[in-house]
Amino acid sequence: MNNSTTLAEIQSKYQNCNLLIPAATSVQINPFYKCTVMEVVPDTSDNSGDIFKVGNTKVGEDRNGNAVYVDVFSLAKPLLMKLATAAGIQFHPEYTTVTRENANTYVGKAYGAVRLPDGTFKTHAETKRICLDDEEAKYRLEFMDKSIMGIRDWKAAKSAADMFKGEWHEDPEKLNKWNKPEKYYVIADCDREKYIERSILVNMTLLRKTASEKAQTGAILRVIRALLGIKGTYQLQELKKPFAVPTVTFSPDYSDANVRQAMLQQGMSSMGNMFGATSAPPAALPFATEAFADSFDPEENLDNPAFVSEHSADEENYADDYRQEEPEREQEHREPPAQQETGQEESTGYFCDECGKEITERAYEYSINKFGKPLCMKCQKGAGK
């Protein structure tokens, strides 16, 4: 099942829900990495919250020589966060913080990283400083200009007209969406100071409550804009096209034999880095046919784990026994050569109940647990049948 079929099934099943899954197209660029292009479609409706108007710009003149203006928009936080998720941007938790320099200043810091299509990482750090004194001065200048030059936002102008004295004017050079001259409201001199002070009070009250969060969010959004190369403003027709965000993920193609071999070598190398270099595992012994089994004495190979595992009913118990037996074998290798050459071995005191042959302590414990009586290796085979 391909990606388009899967997405279509999800959309049909959850057609009554607001899906937040962006469309994606994946391409295996090499045996180890996959490039995925995520498509994020902005919601350009008036109250969507994905974009906000920042003004207008002149794009030319009409046949009558009048200037033609179009609205320009910027990406808001919800859309920027969706783009960051699609791009896989990650923020360092220790360096993405907000601090308070003094009673009126907050500083937000953000440090983010994104993987580029070539597999390398791009990092970026930004700060956002909010000083309440500076913001108050900025608000004062803004509302002073609006009171003199006119309030052009229709909703804000209508609300101001209901509260303060003033006059309505028309701008013939700028047309609204109904193709009529744009109206704006100019505050009267007697209410101008009252309008400015009230506007500052409303905005500063809200800012004091959210200054810390705004500083943090501002730094994060700056990082997202920088890492993805997002423009400051877009025209509406530009925002009606989806944003395509390519990402690279580690996705090995396990059907490739070279990939499997490389992954195995990487795993062995990782184990060596953690626990130190280890010797290569012993090669597996050939399958013991009946002729091969009759050509050697099992008692002489009892300590070899390759043979003991064939008679162990519980592999986990055998693994524990093998780990306990390893120090004993190491001790045998550390014995002086003279003692090994004499051939003198201390008697174990254990004998097979069937043939009377002396057996090792290990064979004794195993046969007692398995068969309820001491047996040598040959007699264990007969008892197992």
Give me the pLDDT at residue 64, please. 80
Output the 3-class SS for the chain: CCHHHHHHHHHHHCCCCCCCCCEEEEEECCCCEEEEEEEECCCCCCCCCCEEEEEEEEEEECCCCCEEEEEEEEECHHHHHHHHHHHCCEECCCCCEEEEEECCEEEEEEEEEEECCCCCEEEEEEEEEEEHHHHHHHHHHHHHHHHHHCECCHHHHHHHHHHCCEEEEEEEEEECCCCCEEEEEEECHHHHHHHHHHHHHHHHHHHHHHHHHHHHHHHHHHHHHHHHCCCCCEEHHHHCCCEEEEEEEECCCCCCHHHHHHHHHHHHHHHHHHHCCCCCCCCCCCCCCHHHHCCCCHHHHCCCHHHHHHHCCCHHHHHHHHHHHHHHHHHHHCCCHHHHHHCCCCCCCEECCCCCCEECHHHHHHHHHHHCCCCCHHHHHHHHC
Encode pLDDT of 133-147 as tens digits. 999 999 999 999 999
pTM confidence score: 0.55
Domain positions in the chain are 42-134+168-186+208-241, 284-339+346-384
Whether 375 shows a pLDDT value over 90: the answer reads no
Encode pLDDT of 277-313 as tens digits. 544 544 444 444 444 444 444 444 444 443 334 433 3
Whether 345 shows a pLDDT value over 60: the answer reads no
Backbone torsions φ then ψ of 47, nearest 5 degrees:
-110, 30
Q: What would the mean pLDDT of 34-44 be, rounded to a whole number?
A: 82
Q: Which two tokens stand for residue 290?
A: 């009946």
Q: What would the mean pLDDT of 21-31 be, rounded to a whole number?
A: 59
